[in-house]
Structure 1
Amino acid sequence: MDDATLFRRQLRTLAAMDELIAAAAPENRHLEFDGVSAAIVPATPDRSVTNGVVYERPEALEVVYEELAAAYEESGIRAWTVWVPQADRAVAESLARRGHLLDAAPRAMLGRLDKMRLDSAGLDGIDWSSGHPLSELAVVAGPVFAFGDELALATRNSPPGALCYLAHLEGRPVASVMACHHDGDCGIFWVATLEHAQRRGFATALMIAALRDAQEAGCETTSLQATAQGAPVYSRLGYEDHGAIEMWERRLSPDE
């Protein structure tokens, strides 16, 4: 499998995540066009990370852009983002002309599961469990990513495709990982560890568990979007850096 195919798998898994999040609360929505996917999460109107657009072809985004913008506005969303591969400079420039700003540039990290370092010894000494409802991840991911109660509200249903893992310290959840299997790829999301439990291997252990489960379920590849802090951890597991995937955010001013 070549690198271009791996990258396309990541985009399709991001689109599958949009659909999964849409099923996580009754008011959430998933918009799907030819080659474009969008999640609308009214409980998080000022957080573009949960209100995101993924496209496979630049021309497809251009065709539906105004419809997307109107849908976000009608839903009361004040911040939304478009995921843009770093090579798509024409898309980035078009979004900038429409009022989007570059909010973040996480790394697109991809891997082939048969080449990952997933030794079960990484689970030794870690109190972890799987099969949790999506809403339970908010106990960890909420404070780590600076959400209030809104993340729990936005994820109060538990779609079956949300495969949730928690690690515990003294009986309390301190780390989280969510996996989403789509068309042979295991997308990893909501990797978080509470501050007092960091650098103790909790999140790494959960990723090993999730990726081993994915391999057993028939997945061949894995993908995630990494911050600068997380990228070295993922590299040690065998992920490879495939460049930035930029988040071009449109944030409405109070008078808009």
Structure 2
Amino acid sequence: MMSPNDQRELIQLADLNLAAMIRHRMKMAPNGLLQEQDGVLLFTIGCPAANGHLNGVLRVNDETDAVKILDRARRFFQPLKRDFMVWVRDERDDDLEQALRDAGFTVDREPGIPCMALQRRLDQVSPSADIELRSVVSAEDVADYAQVMVAAFGMTNEVARAVFGETESLVAPQVAAFIVHHNNVPVAAAMTLIAAKVAGIYFVGTVPEARGRGLGEPATRAATNAGFDLGAGAAILQASVAGEPLYRRMGYQLLTRYRWYRSTMH
């Protein structure tokens, strides 16, 4: 059980890691656009995607006025005619959450997306003979990773090209990524990005036909441990409904929650 002081510090570092991941993703996207000013990140991957990681608004300064954030968000996204999500950080964005509700934004998931943390390495599981865990080291590997995400999340090929079109999206000094192959077919993947002294675990997914067999766990464990190998003091991730029980079993603990508030621009 982490102490309150550890929890507060990790929450701050998790926010910083999330912001770093957004910056990395927008830099890698051919048509990505990032505007960072007055404590707010406004960003688009360059194509429609109802996902707060790809088209959204993140407050990075607690003092930034909530109403001004919404005004800037509208001015940023309206010319693009693109839907977007506004991130709300639990217990830190109460004023922003109220402003969003007053403005008619709708919450995407309640009570929110669990942000979970781990402060130790994990034992690496030994896969069966037909399972192989591979590091992402080439453009071909990045393409395989992208196709796992397309199948796992229903991601369009346009979005996949925007997110993973550059090899450096997954092959970079601060990034490590892994793919699980079953009978030489890519079926699961996970990545980590090191920033703000923590390893952020992102884009963890398993193709539908391979779910329920624990095939995503070796990739998640490898991404977690790679983060510690690269100097992180803790690992953090944002859990899906399906993934949360697995992460708890692995040792991740609830740290805080994020919520997405959805706006439509048409």
Q: Same fold (TM over 0.5)?
A: yes
Contact 2:151–2:208 under 8 Å retained in 1: no
Please, which runs of 5 or more residues in structure 1 have no aligned partner? none
Q: Find 2:48's aligned residue among 34, 44, 52.
A: 44
Distance 1:163 1:216, change over 3 A: closer
Which position in structure 1 is the counterpart of 2:229?
Answer: 216
Contact 1:54–1:83 under 8 Å retained in 2: yes
Contact 1:128–1:166 under 8 Å retained in 2: yes
Which position in structure 2 is the counterpart of 1:72?
Answer: 77
Deviation digits for residues 180-200 of structure 1, max 9, x if unmatched?
Answer: 110211111111101221122
Which position in structure 2 is the counterpart of 1:143?
Answer: 151
2:248 maps to 1:235: yes
Amino acid at match of 1:83: W
Which position in structure 2 is the counterpart of 1:185?
Answer: 198
Deviation at 1:6, TM superposition (A): 0.5
2:180 maps to 1:172: no
SS in 2 for 1:188: strand
SS in 2 for 1:175: strand
Q: Find 1:111's aligned residue among 94, 118, 122.
A: 118
Which position in structure 2 is the counterpart of 1:35?
Answer: 39
The two structures, once aligned, show a CA RMSD in angstroms of 2.0
Which position in structure 2 is the counterpart of 1:152?
Answer: 160
Please, which runs of 5 or more residues in structure 2 have no aligned partner? none
Q: Find 2:17's aligned residue among 1, 13, 16.
A: 13
Deviation at 1:11, TM superposition (A): 0.8
Distance 1:207 1:60, change over 3 A: same
Distance 1:46 1:165, change over 3 A: same
Deviation digits for residues 11-67 of structure 1, max 9, x if unmatched?
Answer: 111101111111222210122224322331122344444212222334325344322
| TM-score of the aligned structures, taking structure 2 as reference length | 0.85
Amino acid at match of 2:103: R
Q: Find 1:244's aligned residue among 257, 261, 264.
A: 257
Deviation digits for residues 206-237 of structure 1, max 9, x if unmatched?
Answer: 11111211111111111111122111111122
Q: Find 2:134's aligned residue among 129, 136, 147.
A: 129
2:106 maps to 1:101: yes
The farther-off stretch of 151-160 and 45-54 is 45-54
Q: Percent identity?
A: 23
| TM-score of the aligned structures, taking structure 1 as reference length | 0.88
Question: How many residues are aligned here?
Answer: 248
SS in 2 for 1:139: helix
